[in-house]
Amino acid sequence: MALSYEYSIGSVRAKENALFQKSDIEQLLACGSLAQFCQTLRDKGWGSSDSFDDISRDHTDRMWAYIKSVAPDFSIFTPFLIQNDVHNFKVTLKGTMSARKYYEKLLLSPCTVEHGDMIYAVEHRDMKQLPEWLEKPAEKAYELLAHTGDAKACDAVLDKAVMQEMLSFSKGLRSAFLQKYFNTLVFYSNVKIALRSARTGADKNYLKSALCEAEGFDSDRIINAAVKGSDALVDTIAKFSEYDGKAAMEQYKKSPVAFEKFVDDKLIVMAKESCKRASEGAEPLLGYYLGEEAEKKVLHIIASGIKTGTDTDIIRERLREIYG
């Protein structure tokens, strides 16, 4: 029997109760060691390993298995999965060209291109094995890395391709939330590229090859500001009111870390406002997925802080908003 969104919404609303609350995060922050941190996660049903990486990987696998079991149309997650495709292509390309062993362990799942097919496409330079949106960018990235060794330019081509495909795919879906979400995601991906370029003195040609057109994003305006330097660019971005550019740049002036947190928080708050209130369609399921990803990012920040002996108050300042 075909699944219905009525069934999936009922299921995911119950599943949301297992997402961490602020009290759970405080309990994890109080852990004095990674061993205690992992034990606390095991007690909360996150996994059974002594390694946080293994616990996280196990939890992610179970999350995707659950989503597949309740999603009436799993294709709505394609814009998220293709990000793993691009990651996997980069890993495979660089691993193959450097003759690096065991790079396959770095490949992510789920994805739309099977790992074996990705490896075959790169090793045999047969990009026709890849989806149409990735075929030409993959060939261009291969050429760049093989003939110039410029990994930055190689990544820029691939990152732009996946941004374009995320926007294109989301436009074809009946989800105003996803269209807004990916326009915001791409806008700030562009901003991050431009800010890095302004700091390092990248030229217009690189910026043109790296930036992706999105709703409300004026690439020429951003490029012209970026080549003038960071101050000019920050002033320009602050004028993009539809994406809260002023608030974003206020955080950037504090630190790049504060800016990254601002962007992550903006995206998860967007999901909470749209998906938690939704009573039909795919939004509740999408919100649950994004909530799981936000939670996982918070746990990685805490685990990293515990590992490096960072003060708890500093770790707390870096934490992102959660969905629960």
Which CATH architecture group holds 76-172? Up-down Bundle (1.20)
Predicted confidence at residue 101, as pLDDT, reads: 82
Query: With 70 as the cut, is the pLDDT of residue 266 above it?
Result: yes
> Which range among 71-75, 97-101, 222-226, 248-252 shows the weakest confidence by mean pLDDT?
97-101
Predicted confidence at residue 324, as pLDDT, reads: 80
Query: With 90 as the cut, is the pLDDT of residue 78 above it?
Result: yes
pLDDT in tens, 140-168: 999 999 999 999 999 999 999 999 999 99
Predicted confidence at residue 102, as pLDDT, reads: 86
As a three-state string, the secondary structure of the chain is CCCCHHHHHHHHHHHHCCCCCHHHHHHHHCCCCHHHHHHHHHHCCCCCCCCHHHHHHHHHHHHHHHHHHHCCCHHHHHHHHHHHHHHHHHHHHHHHHCCCCCHHHHCCCCCCCCHHHHHHHHHCCCHHHCCHHHHHHHHHHHHHHHHCCCHHHHHHHHHHHHHHHHHHHHHCCCCHHHHHHHHHHHHHHHHHHHHHHHHHCCCHHHHHHHCCCCCCCCHHHHHHHHCCCHHHHHHHHCCCHHHCHHHHHHHHHHCHHHHHHHHHHHHHHHHHHHHCCCCCCCHHHHHHHHHHHHHHHHHHHHHHHHHHCCCHHHHHHHCCCCCC
Q: What is the mean pLDDT of the chain?
A: 95
